Structure 1
Amino acid sequence: MPETPDWFESGISHIWLPYTQMKTAVPSLPVKSTDGVRLTLADGRQLIDGISSWWAAAHGYNHPHIIEAMKAQIDAMPHAMFGGMVNEPALTLARRLAAMLPGDLNRVFIAESGSVSVEVAMKMALQYYFNRGEKRTKFVHFRGTYHGDTLGTMAVCDPEEGMHGLFGDVLAKNLLTDLPRTAEQAEQFADFLKANAADVAAVITEPLVQGAGGMVFHTNDTLRWLREACDAAGVLLIVDEIFTGFYRTGSRFAIEQAGIVPDMVTLSKALSGGVSPLSACIARDEIFAAFYDDDPMKALMHGPTYMGHALGCAAANASLDLFEREDYAAKVHAIEGQLMAELAPCGFVENVKSVRVKGAIGVVQLHDASGLEKLKPEFVKRGVWVRPFRDIVYLTPPLVIGEDDLSALTHAIRDVLGA
């Protein structure tokens, strides 16, 4: 076992790690630096990152354009409160996001984390109706869905998924159903929504891919059916693009593939290029209009301390520069083709249930996931960072990854599962 650095030995007993049973956990790997698609460990070993730091490092690590923008911003002003004051990076980011998104998604609320952006969208939906004199308190959400770990977002995750099962009795009670995947199911969902519309503020969904719920895909038709059902029932539609936004599924935003305009969209992760906590909730003009009033009680009373974080917004503007300058759709198309070709042989492995690919997402689902934890160190031995969960081994590599590095990831999966 390689020696661990002093900072690891002295600090690990004081940290509380995410999604981890600390008593039985395999020791975490100490990372000392990053570059491109590689993570360098404290002992000098390098791992090709197949996860993009939870899907965020779309441009790879330490991209010079983003780093230079952050250095310039930190010299000028890392942050100033967003209450009664604004800053150029935040307003520029808001203008650019409004221009990028379809329709009249024009009002941008900038926060720090993805979960908070979803909380803000839910709060906007509730107050939208409160301000109109209607008390609607429910959300419709779907099996297999994940939207965050805060109390509000846990209440619109799949309660049977297990991660939040302990909290079922204390969470808000919403309306759980299945995503409509056929025309018949779409009709059933539309009837269900109409029957409950008087109590429902919004439908919330992940577009095209249910990420943390197991990387389960659905079609553009599903998104169109949700939009049509919401319109018919007079219910708002929130689309959570935190995972799918910025070319992960092949287009700039997943909603573009379906040609819909939600009432609110949430963004995070690749928004800042994975270098700074940052998120945004973008609302349509009609939503904003319900808050725009002489009555101060109709204002949206929400304001994170680091809202409009100037340093994070500078990183996000630099990240948008890269998305605009380079052909990321072509990059993802090439990744998709390579994932399809190189993961396909996994389908012949006895324990593999299915292999599926969407954009820069490659998934190998297993029949028996009982030994999943034992796979992680096997990937490290092969010089790659792959982090299986639930019953899947998956790849969401940086969108700038080269063919050889992507092959190293796919071949590692084939080798480990084959063994």
Structure 2
Amino acid sequence: MTIKQRDQKHIWHPLTQHKLHPETMAIVKAKDCILFDEDGNQYIDGIASWYSSMYGHCNPFITNRVYKQMQTLDHVVFAGFTHEPAVKLSEELIKILPENQEKIFFGDNGSTSIEIGIKMALQYHFNTGEKRNTLIAFEDGFHGDTFGAMSVSGLSVYNGPFEDFFLDVKRIPTPNGNNQSLVLETLKAIVKNNKVAGFVYEPLVQGAAAMKMHDAEGLNTILKFCKANKIITVADEVMTGFGKTGRHFASDFMETKPDVICMSKALTAGLMPMSITSCTQAIYDAFYSDDIGKGLFHCHTYSANPLACAAAIAGLELLQSDTIQQNIKRITEKHRVFGAYIETHSKVKSIRQKGIIFALDLNVEMERYGDLRYKLFNFFMENGVFLRPLGETIYIQAPYTITEAQLDKIYQVIEEVLEIV
């Protein structure tokens, strides 16, 4: 039996309605920007396997570091213990985070990094003697699949059955450069009528909302308002972090920095599961007390796993290398040129770009997981390119190590798919 056939007996895949789409593709190997399936076919990974394998698959610089660490310390409880990889990672990460970040809290995936950020915001006010129970989030945001993360997400396609169980969340529009008055009026009304603890947001690019992008100046105004009203700002950089927007973090584009930053995905170069929630000294100080009940009682078994830390340290070194920084600039420029060329096509409604994140909206109405979306996906795969459309949006977030020829192949297949929609 093939891997695909064996898979169907026991496995329940994410984001899959198995009655409609019973088959999956079996990947047996990955190297650099190429995925290999069990039938011997090759595919360019145009989305870095959900924006995580940003330095290419099985990068030897990273795998060798993890192998070396594996010989010394594989895992140890992080409550009451520490180790060199975690300490080293905290030191190196703080160097590239926005300057107000001081403390590092380890988790194990993007959703739980958001859970931790939400807990920090809510408990900060509780610890300082003020009960605040409302959160603010953007319309169409997505922050993960655990309950706190779902609460601040706005995509009902994922969250519909659970909405009766959510935290109290009020939504505001994303700033687009022309709606600042509306955004601020909405924000002020929410703050006037609710006890707002925190604002949870994806800075500049909303990934699951089909790479919807918003205005940096407008976001900065929102953050300034939140600071003035003691609302804890929680930046979800799970997708945007580690160079994708052209800077280390999307938060670097705003003068006003967040109180809390959530990270995962490219943090460990796609090699190991891990997340980090960083915060300012002021946030940490609100939990520092003789009262044990004021501590942040959140823990994961694999918090600060030494192997994941080793992968993250190696990834940070690559991110800051001249080679990767030049590659980010090269990919950004290639996307700009392709966008200028393709935006006049009759089947293209709009394009947008932030750093190496490129998105193209088709001039056609589609369901997010409808038949046409799967037709596009299958066309890409049949032509050797792994892209995963979000409704009518085709986007690229390829590894930083992608070659010119591989990028040109992605562009070519996108141009060809426009003829079948």
Q: Where in structure 2 are the equivalents of 1:349-368 lying within 5 Å?
A: 349-366=345-362, 367-368=364-365
Matched, 1:227 2:223: yes
Provide closer, same or farther for how the CA distance between residues 185 and 332 of structure 1 changes in structure 2, counting only shifts above 3 A. farther
Residue-by-residue CA offset, 1:290-340 (whole Å, 9 max, x unaligned): 011111111110111111111101100110111122354432222122112
- The whole-number CA distance in structure 2 between the counterparts of 1:87 and 1:113 is 20
> In the alignment, is residue 203 of structure 1 matched against residue 204 of structure 2?
no
Is 1:101 aligned to residue 89 of structure 2? no
Show the counterpart of 2:161: 166
Q: Could you tell me which residue of structure 1 aligns to residue 2 of structure 2?
A: 6
Q: Does 1:47 align with 2:43?
A: yes
Tell me which residue corresponds to 1:397: 398
Residue 184 (str. 1) matches residue 206 (str. 2): no
Task: Output the CA distance in 2 between the equivalents of 1:93 and 1:252.
Answer: 16
Mapped contact 2:242–2:267 kept (Cα < 8 A): yes
Taking the aligned partners of 2:186 and 2:37, their CA distance within structure 1 comes to 49
Look up the match of 2:18: 22
Contact 2:4 2:24 in 1 (8 A): no
Shift of 1:193: 4.8
Instruction: Give the conservation status (yes or no) of the 8 Å contact 1:349–1:418.
Output: no
* 2:32 counterpart residue number: 36
Matched, 1:92 2:72: no
C-alpha displacement of 1:26: 5.5
Distance 2:254 2:312 in 1: 25
Matched letter for residue 291 of structure 1:
F
| Alignment partner, residue 416 of structure 1 | 417
Long gaps (5+) in structure 2:
none
Cα shift at 1:349: 4.0
Counterpart Cα distance in 2 of 1:38 and 1:82 = 36
| Cα 1:330–1:258 shift into 2, 3 Å | farther
> Contact 1:143 / 1:178 at 8 angstroms: preserved in 2?
yes
Matched position secondary structure for 1:109: strand
Instruction: Classify the secondary structure of the residue corresponding to 1:105.
Output: coil
Instruction: Give the SS at the match of 2:152.
Output: coil
Contact 1:193–1:230 (8 Å) recurs in 2: no
How far is 1:92 from its partner?
1.1
Instruction: Name the residue aligned to 1:72.
Output: 68
**Distance (whole Å) between structure 2 residues aligned to residue 316 and residue 289 of structure 1:** 27
One-letter amino acid matched to 1:180: P
The 8 Å contact of residues 241 and 248 in structure 2, kept in 1 or not, is answered as yes
1:82 matched residue in structure 2:
78
Q: Under a length normalisation based on structure 2, what TM-score does the superposition of the two structures give?
A: 0.94
Shift in alpha-carbon separation, 1:372–1:349, aligned structure 2, 3 A: farther
Amino acid at match of 2:4: F
Counterparts of 1:40 and 1:402, CA distance in 2: 17
Whether 1:291 aligns to 2:287 is yes
Note if contact 1:346-1:417 (Cα within 8 Å) is conserved in structure 2. Answer: no
The CA deviation at 1:351 is 3.7
Q: For 1:185-242, what per-residue CA distance to the aligned partner results, in whole angstroms no more than 9, with x for missing partners?
A: 353245235414x611101110110111110111211221121111221211111111
Secondary structure in 1 aligned to 2:360?
A: strand
- In the comparison of the two structures, how many residue pairs are matched? 413
Q: Distance in 2 between matches of 1:131 and 1:342?
A: 52
Q: Structure 2 CA distance, aligned partners of 1:93 and 1:230?
A: 30
Q: Secondary structure at the match of 1:44?
A: coil
Instruction: Please state whether the residue corresponding to 2:218 is helix, strand or coil.
Output: helix
Residue 157 of structure 2 aligns with an amino acid whose one-letter code is G
Secondary structure (helix, strand or coil) at the match of 2:28 reads: strand
Whether the 8 Å CA contact 2:85–2:310 is kept in 1: the answer is: yes
Q: 1:74 to 1:304 in 2, by over 3 A?
A: same
Identical positions, percent:
33
Moved more, 271-280 or 387-396: 387-396
**How far apart are the structure 2 equivalents of 1:186 and 1:20?**
35
Select 1:281's aligned residue among 277, 284, 290. Answer: 277
Q: Please say if residues 175 and 215 of structure 2, whose CA atoms lie closer than 8 Å, have aligned partners that are also in contact.
A: no
Work out the CA distance in 2 between the residues paired with 1:207 and 1:294: 36
Q: RMSD of the alignment, in Å?
A: 1.6
One-letter identity of the residue aligned with 1:166:
P
Distance 1:365 1:389 in 2: 9
- 369-378 or 109-118: which moved more? 369-378
The equivalent position to 1:236 in structure 2, one of 228, 232, 251, is: 232
Q: Deviations along 1:150-208, whole A, 9 cap, x unmatched? A: 1111000015x422122222222311121233442353245235414x61110111011
State the SS of the aligned residue for 1:288: helix
Task: Pick one of 302, 309, 323 that aligns with 1:306.
Answer: 302
Q: CA deviation at 1:100?
A: 1.6
For residues 21-57 of structure 1, give each alpha carbon's deviation from its aligned partner in whole angstroms, at most 9, with x where no partner exists.
0111152111000111000111111101101000001
The DSSP-based 3-state class of the residue aligned with 1:155 is: helix
